[in-house]
Amino acid sequence: MDLRNPYRDIKGQMSVEFVLIAGFMLILTCAVAAYIFDDSELTHAMAAARSGAVQGVLADSLAVYPEETFKDYIQEHPRLVSPSGVKIVKIAHENKGVNPLYNRTWIQLKIYATGSGMDSAEQYRLGSRINYYARKSICEVFKTQNLTNVGFNPAFSDKYVFTTAGVEWV
């Protein structure tokens, strides 16, 4: 403390050391920020996909469908209008590199589900609904509905484009 000016420390001056450390931290933060945000966006999208997949499973399990779907099922797949025990086992993703068409990193989602008493045609329909809701949820979270089609295929985030492989029934 400067004895000639005892108020020096309480007037807001910063030491050179502090300025140096703060500057270094700022540079370090900027350097890792881009990497963190990319990774965080993917985590965010995967959380949205899981949330959507759960909604799809609920629609499948409770068998309460949109009108057109209901009419189709009652004619072609009457088994599907009854509740069924469908569960999500896991949701995996694979980085397919940069998609030149959309200039975004292409991520393919693969959802694993389980359910009994269904033939392959019924599983295909239930799986399509799970995938649809997963893609829809991603688009809704990142507000990119205007970039895609009515089937939300593909789904977009700011830096990624998402597609879904057929649901694997285990």
Residues within the interface to another protein (CB under 8 A): 10, 40, 44, 47-48, 51-52, 54-55, 58-59, 62-67, 70, 74, 81-83, 137, 140-143
For another protein, give the closer residue by CB, 58 or 89. 58
In degrees and rounded to multiples of 5, residue 3 shows phi and psi of -70, -25
At position 121, the amino acid (one-letter code) is: A
Minimum distance, C-beta of residue 103 to another protein, in the bound complex (Å): 23
Residue 101 CB, shortest distance to another protein, in Å, is 26
Query: Which of these, 156, 167, 40, 140, lies nearest to 105 by C-alpha position?
Result: 156
Between 37 and 166, name the residue whose CB sits nearer to another protein: 37
Residue 65 or 99: which CB sits closer to another protein? 65
Helices 120-142, 16-62: inter-axial angle, 10-degree rounding: 150
Q: At residue 57, what are phi and psi to the nearest 5 degrees?
A: -65, -40
